[in-house]
Amino acid sequence: MTSRSMGGMSESLGDEPLVVTRADSVATIWLNRAEKRNAMSFDMWAALAESCHELARDHSVRVLVVRGVGGHFCAGADIGGFSGGMSGEYQAQNREAEEALAGFPRPTIAFITGSCVGGGVQIAGACDLRFAEITAKFGITPARLGIAYPTYALERAVRLVGPSAAKHLLFSAELIDAERALRIGLIDELLETDVAQQRLEEFTSLLANERSLLTQTISKEMVNEVAARGEISAETIERWASVLANNPDMPEGVAAFAERRSPNFVWVPEEPS
């Protein structure tokens, strides 16, 4: 894994299969294996987990984007290494990467072009939001190989698109276009190619610079609890109530609204003791 300070372009990322770039408070994890349509090796899963953990500790990172180079998001796991079956070590690393991305404490966006298949859907599904160009194709394809989709990824897919759509994808291993992915809830926005990059930049800037990190952090934790368990725990409500009682963002937000200006939100999470 390589980290660089640069903008949103994918040129000159070097030879590392996973690269982190930064533009102000927006970090981007690039899957950088274009010749394989960014198929995920064991080392890439490990680097994805490491990058997510590292960026989560850096409170200057307000938004995390995951995307691929070379016109594709991710063609899935690199099945060239599966001739002897999927090892326990591989499965453990795969799960760690997915959970590290899903557990990232601030907003995450998958920006999808071209192929988003198998492990690509797993990565995209672990993000909070999925923006896709019209070029994107989606599929969950273990039925082509006679293997099972990882249970943790399957659970997330069912929560995302519902049982019937998940069964269709898993039973058939067919690829679907981006318009159908939008209809079943697999993606959140469908964008024409000529405006997709601009929309991504405008949206990440909005989240990072004009919206309350406190609201985003609370919302992400609570929505995830509802999705996983059907309700928000009393412990979570109580813990955030004490934070909201001394919240510097609310008076600033009210003042900015009254003065018709952009707010200057200042809340950041406390460093662990």
DSSP code string of 34-89: GGGTTPBPHHHHHHHHHHHHHHHH-TT--EEEEEESTT-SB--B-GGG-TT---HH
Residue 124 has a pLDDT of 98
88 confidence band (pLDDT: 50, 70, 90): confident
Taking the C-alpha atoms of 34, 152, 85 and 97 in order, what is their torsion angle to the nearest 10 degrees? 40
Asked if pLDDT for residue 7 goes beyond 80, the answer is: no
SS3 of residue 112 by DSSP: strand
Asked if pLDDT for residue 85 goes beyond 60, the answer is: no
Residue 87 has a pLDDT of 73
Write the CB contacts of 74 (distance below 8 Å, at least 6 apart in sequence). Answer: 31, 37, 38, 39, 40, 68, 115, 116, 117, 119, 120, 123, 124
Provide mean pLDDT across the span 238-242: 94
Asked if pLDDT for residue 213 goes beyond 60, the answer is: yes
SS3 of residue 263 by DSSP: coil
Provide mean pLDDT across the span 172-193: 98
Provide mean pLDDT across the span 216-221: 96
Give whole-number Cα distances, 170 to 42, 89, 160, in Å: 23, 24, 14
CA atoms within 13 A on the CB side of 166: 15
Digit-coded pLDDT (tens) for 10-60: 457 899 999 999 999 999 999 999 999 999 999 999 999 999 999 999 999
Q: Which domains does the chain have, with CATH numbers?
A: 2-208 (3.90.226.10), 212-259 (no CATH)
Q: In what order do the strands lie in the sheet with 2-5?
A: 2-5, 18-23, 26-31, 63-68, 108-112, 129-133, 189-191
In the chain, the percentage of residues whose pLDDT exceeds 90 is 85
Residue 177 has a pLDDT of 98
Cα–Cα distance for residue pair 205/140, rounded to 1 Å: 32
SS3 of residue 234 by DSSP: helix
Residue ranges with strand state E in 158-264: 176-177, 189-191
Phi-psi sector, 187: left (phi>0), alpha (psi -120 to 50), beta? beta
Which pTM value belongs to this model? 0.92
Mean predicted lDDT score pLDDT of the chain: 92
Cα–Cα distance for residue pair 28/156, rounded to 1 Å: 23
Asked if pLDDT for residue 235 goes beyond 70, the answer is: yes
Provide mean pLDDT across the span 155-183: 97
Q: Is there a contact between 123 and 74 (Cβ–Cβ < 8 Å)?
A: yes
Size of the chain in residues? 273
Asked if pLDDT for residue 4 goes beyond 70, the answer is: no
Provide mean pLDDT across the span 205-233: 95
